[in-house]
Amino acid sequence: MEFPQLSLSLSSYPETAKPWLLVTGGRPPKTSWLKALQGFACCWAADHGIDACCQAKLLPDVLLGDGDSARATSWSWAEKNGVAIQKYPVAKDYTDTQLALQLMIKAGAPAIILTGAFGGRFDHAYSTMFSCASLDIPCTLIDETEALFYVKAGQSLTLTCQTVPKAISLLPFTPACSGVTINNVRWPLTEATLTQQSPNAISNELLTGQIDLSIGVKSGILGVYCYWETP
């Protein structure tokens, strides 16, 4: 998968399969970053995510949500341009983002890129991060400032950075992750065990001159978080 600041290779994901993009309702990605994002097969927007799409003139294939946070002008823009709209009540068990993830998988998405997931309300971000961790397909949360990738049991992940992140952190999304290996960083790990109870692999960094980062895990679900400073 290609992003404006890096490229990603996941051992279990065929490079020929194009991911689907979901723009959701947290902190919106910078318009220039969203316009530069390419290589996705189709685009969905969840509620307030339609505002970022409208700003970037990125017409989604599907708009889903209860409409409680999106601007009326953005919703009308989608309607006037023939976007397929799936309206849901405000009172429901799942968030708009969770519903979108479920429906995208049902519709055949091979992988999902989710932007607009960070910032805003922590409870929504928490729900989104753990919902994505449990998916059976690859999922990436990313904008110009932050990214979260998932590496699952027996998988390896390689990142090639066009822009070197300021910080790289490893976040267990299961009680423990074992056999964790990471190289080309200031504090490498080999066959380590990381736990949710005491997450201690925070704020690592690439070695000077390095742009490639490889991470592997033998058991558990490991989140790889990257942070970039932006002007």
Cβ proximity of 209 and 151 under 8 Å: no
pLDDT digits (tens, 9 = 90+) for 29-81: 999 999 999 999 999 999 889 999 999 999 999 999 876 778 889 989 999 99
Two domains, one topology: 1-144 and 145-231: no
- Look at 59 and 12; give whichever has higher pLDDT: 59
CB 95 within 8 A of CB 102: no
Give me the chain's average pLDDT, please: 93
Q: Which tens digit of pLDDT belongs to each residue from 89-120?
A: 776 778 889 999 999 999 999 999 999 999 87
What's the pLDDT tens digit per position in 154-163? Answer: 999 999 999 9
Q: Which residue has the tokens 């990738």?
A: 149
Domain ranges for the chain:
1-144, 145-231
**Domain spanning 145-231, CATH architecture:** Sandwich (2.60)
Query: Could you tell me which CATH number the domain at 1-144 has?
Result: 3.40.50.10240
How far apart are alpha carbons 218 and 102 in whole angstroms?
27
The answer, yes or no, to whether residue 26 has pLDDT greater than 80, is: yes
> Taking the model in full, what pTM does it have?
0.93
DSSP 198-231: S----SB-BPTT--EEEEE-SBSEEEEEEE----
Judge contact between 115 and 25, C-beta under 8 A. no
In the structure encoding, which two tokens stand for residue 111, read together? 């992988």
Q: Which residue in 89, 52, 47, 54 sits closest to 70, CA to CA?
A: 47
